[in-house]
Amino acid sequence: MAEAARVIERVAAETELEPEQVERVLEATLGAAVASGGSDAAELAGVVVSAASAWRAQGRQLTELIEALRPQYREFPAPAALLQARRNAEARDALLGEFGGLRSAEVAELAGSRAANRAALANRWRAEGRLLAVAVGDELVYPGFQFGADGRPHPTVGAALAELRRQPGLSDWQAALWFASPTGWLGGRRPVDLLDTERDAVVEAAQREVGEIAG
Share of the chain above pLDDT 90, in %: 51
CB 7 within 8 A of CB 13: no
Residues 138, 64 share a domain: no
pLDDT at residue 145 greater than cutoff 50:
yes
* Bridge partners of residue 95, in order along the sequence: none
Say yes or no: 83 and 188 in one domain.
Answer: yes
Q: Which helix (H) or strand (E) holds 64?
A: helix 62-69
Q: How far apart are CA 40 and CA 51, in angstroms?
A: 16
- Mean pLDDT for 86-91 is 90
pTM for this entry: 0.64
State which amino acid sits at residue 55: W
> Does one domain contain both 64 and 140?
no
Q: How far, in Å, CA of 99 to CA of 3, rounded?
A: 50
What is the edge-to-edge ordering of all strands in the sheet holding 101-102? 101-102, 139-143, 134-136
Residue 149 amino acid letter: A
Residue 35: which pLDDT band, with cuts at 50, 70 and 90? very low
Percent of the chain at pLDDT > 70 equals 63
Domain count, the chain: 2
Which residues in the chain belong to E strands, given as ranges?
Answer: 101-102, 134-136, 139-143
Is 74 contained in some domain?
no
Domain finish residue from 41, 69, 97: 69
Q: Which of 39, 69, 99 represents a domain boundary (last residue)?
A: 69
Structural domain of residue 9, as residue ranges?
2-69
Strand partners of residue 140? 135
